[in-house]
């Protein structure tokens, strides 16, 4: 099995689950690593087993020569594929820009070029003393992103 065949097998298996591959790799030492997720909700252990068994079945008797690792990308892993961005619209995220700046807020939109981040800022009142909360939307070109992860508050 080569990388292309592995990718096709994983993609076809995930298609039936309404899922997507975050990473599919095959090393020279026959280590297979698959990170997968669902378009809605979270991937279950049963679904991970299904993917693993599909790979082992396709390898046949050669499966003993491979180390197969299938898992979800993990809640603190940076987004790497477009489907992760789409799945997490409406959720709180932390972004790091290539220039070193960091911001957090709700990702309200994302296309192939721009991400829209909504956050609340304290600004001075127009009349009188004090500050008020104001919702600010910022559009960030994806090419300026260094990483983006979900923002979990415990």
* Count of Cβ atoms closer than 10 Å to residue 47 Cβ: 20
> Quick check: do 3-71 and 82-150 share a fold?
no
Residues 6+ apart with CB under 8 A from 20: 14, 36, 37, 38, 39, 81, 83
Query: Residue 115 in contact with residue 86, Cβ under 8 Å?
Result: no
Percent of the chain with pLDDT over 70: 100
Nearest-angstrom CA–CA distance, 44 and 146: 29
Domain ranges of the chain: 3-71, 82-150
- As its CATH architecture, domain 3-71 has 2-Layer Sandwich (3.30)
Closest CA to 112 of 73, 145, 151: 145
pLDDT in tens, 67-96: 999 999 988 899 999 999 999 999 999 999
Q: Are strands 92-97 and 145-150 parallel, antiparallel or unpaired?
A: antiparallel
Q: What angle do CA 148, 152, 154 make, to 5 degrees?
A: 160
pLDDT value for 154: 73
Domain covering 82-150, topology: SH3 type barrels. (2.30.30)
Averaged pLDDT for residues 112-135: 89
Percent of the chain with pLDDT over 90: 77
User: How much is the pTM?
Assistant: 0.82
Counted residue by residue, the chain has a size of 154
pLDDT in tens, 49-58: 999 999 999 9
Nearest-angstrom CA–CA distance, 121 and 14: 40
Query: What tokens appear for 46 in the block?
Result: 């049963």
pLDDT value for 106: 96
């Amino acid at each position: 099995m080569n990388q292309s065949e592995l990718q096709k097998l994983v993609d076809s298996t995930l298609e039936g689950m309404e899922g997507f591959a975050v990473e599919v790799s095959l090393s020279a030492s026959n280590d297979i690593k698959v990170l997968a997720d669902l378009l809605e909700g979270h991937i279950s252990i049963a679904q991970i087993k299904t993917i693993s068994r599909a790979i082992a079945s396709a390898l046949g008797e050669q499966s003993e020569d491979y180390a197969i690792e299938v898992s979800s990308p993990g809640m603190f892993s940076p987004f790497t594929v477009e489907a992760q961005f789409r799945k997490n619209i409406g959720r709180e995220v932390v972004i790091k820009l290539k220039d070193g700046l960091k911001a957090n807020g709700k990702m309200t939109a994302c296309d192939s070029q721009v991400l829209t981040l909504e956050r609340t800022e304290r600004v001075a009142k127009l009349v009188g003393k004090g500050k008020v909360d104001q919702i600010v939307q910022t559009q960030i070109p994806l090419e300026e992103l260094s990483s983006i992860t979900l923002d979990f508050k415990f």
